[in-house]
Structure 1
Amino acid sequence: MKDSYSLLVVDDEAISRKHALEDIRWEKLGVEELYEASGGLAALDLIRRQRPDIIILDLRMPGIDGLKVLEVMKEERLEGQVIALSGYSDFEAARKMLASGVVVEYLLKPASEDRMFEAVYKCVERIEEKRLVRQIREQEKTAAKEEHLDLKLPMDRKKVLIREAEQYIRENYAEKLTLDQVAQQVYVTPAYLSRLFSEIDGMGFSDYLTKVRMEEAKRLLHTRRKKIYEIAEQVGYRDVKHFMRVFRKLEQCTPTEYREKNLLKSFGIGEEKR
């Protein structure tokens, strides 16, 4: 979810505004910026200047009412998730607005705290869905550009990119590294970096990271100074059981067996006689 959201309450009744702004724990939904307006004109001014994410809008107010505010918002393409507040007499108009997507939720006055809370939560969900769709679309454009770039990028440049990624991994293997993090460091998408690892190194990102971690683990196992679980954590494994499974799969022995064999070799024990 986004770090925080902004909420505008538009109502000509001061008591209703005070109730909506002060009696509900909006911070539980990540709503931290709160605004209020007592009429349509002030509301439009705030919407233009502050661009609130969510608007609780009373449809019936003196002067410029909520219906006019919605009309102007549509004309000026002012974004904002709107929750309409009004009585039974406006239900048919509100139903049409709900169908058109202009209004997210319609609440009858007086609306309970729980009703308003749930309506705002629904708006937050919609904002996050839109953000996610936008991110996916941006990545698919980016991906298309990189596919085009890949056709022109010479092999030596690809090798430079992968070496930069490898260097970052070797310097940060003890952290909880992800493909996304490394890709950000070399300014390419995760999918493109994954392809480069396969093309240049003949192995995936995860395999390369594991290789680096295991090489460091073997180096540390050459002495008895550190315990197995300490070595596991030092090379990036918070779960020592996972570290031991991976080590045994790659080295065909446990970390302790590896350490003991190498200590024996250092004393000349176990070597074949010439």
Structure 2
Amino acid sequence: MNILLVDDEPPVRRSMARAIARAFGDRHRVDEAEDGEEALDMLERQPYDLVVTDIRMPAVDGMALSRAIAERYPDTIVVLLTGYADFQYAREAIRLHVYDYLLKPVSVDVLCELVQKIERETAERRRRTEIERLRLNDLLEKRVRDLFYELPVPYCDTALFPPFKTIAVLAFALPADAREDGFVRFAARNIVADVLSAWGTPVVVAEDLQLIAVLFISNATVPPPEQMAAEAARALKAYQCIDAGATAGLTVARLEDVCEAVRRCLEQLGDRHDPPEAALPDDAVHRLVRQAQAIIRAEYASDLTLAQLAERLYVHPNYLSTLFRRETGVTFSQYLTQVRIENAKKLLRETELKIYQICDRVGYTDQAHFSRVFKAMTGLTPYEYREQNASFSIERGDISDPAADS
């Protein structure tokens, strides 16, 4: 902790400083001031966790100092040094949230016990403050992600967004090795956030090989977004040798416009960073989408959901949904249905399994629903499809088909 001892009697100050040094070594920084006026000057230059001050001092006394600390530095703890005659100040001290009193002459044991108690409480307060900060930051990032996909922000969470006059949306393309290296993405996020914090309050989100930064700007005079993006890209190169292959930036005036700005930035990023059209056909599909398709083809018979798939690929479900549809032209659910029906057709052609067994094997629990979906996809019921395409002879009455009558 940073501790400030304030007393107009040098022997008293020095005695307390020596006692703290003997008890705690160099764990605490201890400074001294001879009166309240000097203490206020020191508080302006350096934050203090604990101020131990005498009440009776010339110029600015202990009560005036306590009042100023309560107004300007509410997180600083104040302990008063008092004599029996000074208890008339108790009511005022309570109003100023003074932490405790030490009775003169100060007992070394009492002083050290009090410092130790305040040290524990300060550490716990900081821990709780940090946890709350991380929780709010995490919630803010989730709400910013929701803006990417035009999801409604709960009214109770609108206060999470920092005050702003404009919003800058910036995008960065990371190198391919960042895909497997979580540290690279973590470092890149921190560097970009640190650079952008000079102009506002940034929220930086990593999505696969893209960084998307949303900067809430309250100052009217800031560089254009392209310049801010270039500054951040230079910092990535200088501090971590991360080469942002392309950058893009836009400014908007409303939270509602963030989604469109993100879309346009990612389009600009793609135009500047995507491989040429001459690449292999499979390379035309985003790596994440290829992975998602492979998982769907392998596990189509399970109760697979978009949320489960996104969690396994370490991306937001909304991001995966948007990317999947953009790359394939169909939704996750439509692709899963296509895969299930294609496998059902294969089983109908090549096996003598009952239709209810095939229904179960391709991931459906309701045979009637399976038959309706199958007919919608193929124009035939499962029974009709088997009749026309089976590689074996079919005996009438062998198969139950709930959709045959529909």
TM-score range, shorter chain: 0.5 to 0.7
Residue matched to 1:260: none
Instruction: Give matches, 1:242-253, under 5 Å.
Output: none
- Rounded Cα–Cα distance in structure 2 between residues aligned with 1:141 and 1:152: 16
Question: In 2 relative to 1, CA 94–128 (structure 1 residues): closer, same or farther, beyond 3 Å?
Answer: farther
Residue matched to 1:124: 119
What is the TM-score when the length of structure 2 is the normalising length?
A: 0.37
User: Does the 8 Å contact 2:70/2:96 carry over to 1?
Assistant: no
Q: Does 1:146 align with 2:141?
A: yes
Question: In 2 relative to 1, CA 57–183 (structure 1 residues): closer, same or farther, beyond 3 Å?
Answer: farther
Letter in 1 for 2:10: A
Offset at residue 111 of structure 1 (A): 1.6
Q: Does 1:61 align with 2:53?
A: no
Q: The residue matched to 1:25 in structure 2 has which SS? A: helix
Residue matched to 2:312: 202
Offset at residue 19 of structure 1 (A): 0.5
Offset at residue 90 of structure 1 (A): 2.1
| Count of matched residue positions in the alignment of Structure 1 and Structure 2 | 178
Q: The residue matched to 1:34 in structure 2 has which SS? A: strand
- Rounded Cα–Cα distance in structure 2 between residues aligned with 1:47 and 1:93: 23
User: Does the 8 Å contact 2:36/2:60 carry over to 1?
Assistant: yes
Offset at residue 36 of structure 1 (A): 0.9
User: Does the 8 Å contact 2:66/2:96 carry over to 1?
Assistant: no
- Rounded Cα–Cα distance in structure 2 between residues aligned with 1:45 and 1:25: 24
Instruction: Give matches, 1:142-221, under 5 Å.
Output: 142-151=137-146, 167-168=180-181, 184-185=186-187, 187=189, 199-200=309-310, 202=312
Q: Does 1:74 align with 2:70?
A: yes
- Rounded Cα–Cα distance in structure 1 between residues aligned with 2:83 and 2:122: 27
Residue matched to 2:36: 40
**Alignment partner for residue 108 of structure 2, among 109, 113, 129?**
113
User: Does the 8 Å contact 1:164/1:186 carry over to 2?
Assistant: no
Q: Which has the larger radius of gyration?
A: 2
Offset at residue 96 of structure 1 (A): 5.1
Q: The residue matched to 1:82 in structure 2 has which SS? A: strand
Residue matched to 2:10: 14
Offset at residue 17 of structure 1 (A): 1.0
- Structure 1: stretches of 5+ with no match in the other structure: 155-159, 170-180, 205-274
- Rounded Cα–Cα distance in structure 2 between residues aligned with 1:50 and 1:143: 30
Offset at residue 86 of structure 1 (A): 0.8
User: Does the 8 Å contact 1:82/1:104 carry over to 2?
Assistant: yes
Q: CA RMSD in A?
A: 3.8
Q: Percent identity?
A: 28
- Rounded Cα–Cα distance in structure 1 between residues aligned with 2:22 and 2:49: 13
Residue matched to 1:85: 81
- Rounded Cα–Cα distance in structure 1 between residues aligned with 2:189 and 2:74: 33
User: Does the 8 Å contact 2:17/2:30 carry over to 1?
Assistant: yes
1:184-225 per-position Cα deviation (integer Å, ceiling 9, x unaligned): 457499xx99xx995435389xxxxxxxxxxxxxxxxxxxxx
User: Does the 8 Å contact 1:51/1:79 carry over to 2?
Assistant: no
- Rounded Cα–Cα distance in structure 2 between residues aligned with 1:122 and 1:31: 14
- Rounded Cα–Cα distance in structure 2 between residues aligned with 1:68 and 1:80: 15
What is the TM-score when the length of structure 1 is the normalising length?
A: 0.52
1:12-67 per-position Cα deviation (integer Å, ceiling 9, x unaligned): 11111110112333672864422111222222222222222211101112332111
1:220-259 per-position Cα deviation (integer Å, ceiling 9, x unaligned): xxxxxxxxxxxxxxxxxxxxxxxxxxxxxxxxxxxxxxxx
- Structure 2: stretches of 5+ with no match in the other structure: 150-172, 191-202, 208-305, 315-406
Offset at residue 165 of structure 1 (A): 7.6
Offset at residue 7 of structure 1 (A): 1.2
- Rounded Cα–Cα distance in structure 1 between residues aligned with 2:186 and 2:25: 29
Offset at residue 110 of structure 1 (A): 1.1
Question: In 2 relative to 1, CA 114–140 (structure 1 residues): closer, same or farther, beyond 3 Å?
Answer: same
- Rounded Cα–Cα distance in structure 1 between residues aligned with 2:134 and 2:109: 37
Offset at residue 142 of structure 1 (A): 1.8
Offset at residue 106 of structure 1 (A): 0.9
**Alignment partner for residue 47 of structure 2, among 39, 48, 51?**
51
- Rounded Cα–Cα distance in structure 1 between residues aligned with 2:144 and 2:71: 40
Question: In 2 relative to 1, CA 26–53 (structure 1 residues): closer, same or farther, beyond 3 Å?
Answer: farther
Q: The residue matched to 1:103 in structure 2 has which SS? A: coil
Offset at residue 134 of structure 1 (A): 2.7
Q: Does 1:23 align with 2:19?
A: yes
